[in-house]
Structure 1
Amino acid sequence: MYQLVSLATAEIEIKKSRFLGQLYPVTTRAEARSLLLNIRTAHPNAVHVCWALICDGDSGLDDDGEPSGTAARPIYNVLVHKQLHNILAVVIRYWGGTKLGAGGLTRAYGQAISDAFKTAELQQVESYCERIFHLQFADESSLRRLCEQHQISIVSADYADTVELRLKLKQQQVQVFEQLASDLLRGSLQIRDPDIC
C-alpha cells in the first residue's frame, strides 16, 4: 500500500479540451470536500471537475456531468492499480469544442491522472492492526520482553482475573508473533482481534 507525499499535477490536451490531473494527499472525506470546493472556486470556467477518493474507510466517485463511468471510474481504476489510499484524484476539464465520445473521455481522464503520477512522490505505508492478548499474571513479563524484542507496541494493559494486553503489530508480522507468543506461554494464551466480536 502506498500514499502520496505531496500534490502532483499534469496537464494534457486532446482535441482542444484541456484536462488538468491533480493528486492530493487527504485523510478524511471532509478534507476532500473542502479541497473540491477550493478547486471549483479556482476554476470557475471549467465544464467538469471529476474526482475519485480513496480514504481510510471511505471512498467516492463523481463524474460531474460527464457520461456515467467515463470520468470518475477511470480515475478510480488508476488509484486502485497503483495501490493507493488516503488520496483525492481530480481532473478538471476545460471544453475544447469537440466531443470525444465515451472511449475518448475514458482514455483522457485516465491519462490525466496517470500523467500526474509521473511527477508524484509516493511512500510505502505499513499496515497495522491490533490484537488483544489474555494471559496469566505470571506470564506478563515474558510477553512484554517478547514485544520489546520484536518492536511491538503495547497500546494498553487492563488487569482483572487475567491480564489483557492490547498490542499494535504490523500486519505482516501478526501470524508469526502470535505463534511465538503461544509457544512461549505454552498455549496458555487467548488472542482476540478487537475488530471481530
Structure 2
Amino acid sequence: MNKDYPVPAGYLERETEVKKSRFIARVAPVNSRNEVKDWLERAHQDHPDARHICWAYQIGRPGSAAEAAMNDDGEPSGTAGKPILSVIQHKDMGDVLVMVIRYFGGIKLGAGGLVRAYAGAAESVLSAVDRVVQRSMDAATVTMSFSDEQPLRHWCETNDAVLESIEYGSTVTARVLVPADRGEQFGGFCDAQKLDYRFDR
C-alpha cells in the first residue's frame, strides 16, 4: 500500500470578495500543533482588525489523519471551520493548514452564504498551491541510555527519519518519525542496540 501523500509545497495567499466582505485565504504546510499556533499568531499580527480568522487543519495522511481540528472564530457554528476542513479533505491533502481571514463588508451573508464563502476561499487557495509528495511517517518512542543517543541520531540521519523531540531524565526518551517503509529496519536497529521502543499506533 502506498502511504505517500501530497502536501502543500509552501505558503500561499489568495483573496476573494463576497458582498463586500473580504476573504483572505492562506495555506501553509504544518507538521505539528505548535506550527499551527505559530501560523495563526502570524495571521493575527498581520490582520489585527479582521472580524474573524477561521481555520482548519489536518496532519498526517488524508483519510487517516493523525490529527485534525477546526475553528469558527465567532462565526455561527459550522459555517466556517467545517467547510474549510471539508475542502481540505476533498483535496486529499495532508499536513495542511488553511486560514481564512474575513473583513466584514456590512452585508450579512446568512449561514448558507457563509458556508459557500469560506468553502470558496479555501478552494481558491488549495487549487492554486503547488503540491509535493510527503513520505508517510510512523511515530515511535524510544527509551535509552545517554550513550545510545548518538547511534540513534546517526541512524535517523542515514534513513530519512526525524528525531522530533528528546527528553533527558534518568534515561533518555526520544520521539522518532520513521518512514513507513523503514519500520522493520528501525526495529532491527533498536533490537541490535537493545533499545526499548514502541510505535505509537
TM-score norm. by structure 1 comes to 0.67
In the other structure, the counterpart of 1:23 is: 27
Alignment-derived partner of residue 84 in structure 1: 93
CA–CA distance in 2 between the matches of 1:126 and 1:19?
32
Deviates more, 1:49-58 or 1:94-103: 49-58
Aligned equivalents of 1:195, 1:65: Cα separation in 2: 35
User: In the alignment, residue 75 of structure 2 is paired with which amino acid?
Assistant: E
Contact (CA 8 Å) 1:50, 1:90: kept in 2 or not?
A: yes
**Residue equivalent to 2:54:** 50
1:195–1:46: structure 2 CA closer, same or farther, 3 Å change rule?
A: closer
- The gaps in structure 1 that reach 5 residues or longer are 131-150, 160-165, 167-192
In 1: Cα distance, 2:200 partner to 2:39 partner: 31
The verdict on how the C-alpha distance between 1:2 and 1:118 changes in structure 2, with shifts beyond 3 A counting, is: same
Of the three residues 12, 16, 37, the one matched with 1:8 is 12
Residue in structure 2 matching 1:158, options 178, 181, 191: 191
Query: Residue 46 and residue 2 in structure 1: after superposition, are their counterparts in 2 closer, same or farther (change >3 A)?
Result: same
Whole-angstrom CA distance in 2 between matches of 1:110 and 1:88: 14
Shift of 1:41: 1.4
Summarize the alignment of residues 62-73 of structure 1 with structure 2, pairs less than 5 Å apart.
Answer: 62-73=71-82
Given residue 31 of structure 1, which amino acid in structure 2 is its aligned partner?
E
Number of the residue aligned with 1:138:
none
CA offset at residue 129 of structure 1? 5.2
Computed over aligned residues only, the root mean square deviation of the Cα atoms, in angstroms, reads 2.7
Cα distance between partner residues in 1 of 2:73 and 2:95:
21
Give TM-score scaled by structure 2 length.
0.66
- Shift in Å at residue 157 of structure 1? 5.0
1:154 aligned partner, one-letter code: Q
Residue deviations 1:53-105 (CA, integer Å, cap 9, x gap): 11243221110000000000000001111112211100000010000011110
Residue of structure 1 in register with 2:109 after alignment:
100
The 1:129/1:58 distance shift into structure 2, 3 A limit, reads closer
Q: What's the CA shift string for 1:85-131, capped at 9, x where partnerless?
A: 2111000000100000111100000010111123201123343559x
Q: Report matched runs for 1:111-126 at 5 Å.
A: 111-126=120-135
The DSSP-based 3-state class of the residue aligned with 1:118 is helix
The worse-fitting range, judged by mean Cα deviation, of 64-73 and 118-127 is 118-127
Unaligned residue ranges in structure 2 (runs of 5+): 61-65, 140-180
Residues 138 and 200 in structure 2, CA contact (< 8 A), matched pair in contact too: no
Give the number of the structure whose alpha-carbon radius of gyration is greater.
1
SS in 1 for 2:100: strand
How many pairs align? Answer: 148
| Percent of residue pairs bearing the same amino acid type | 38
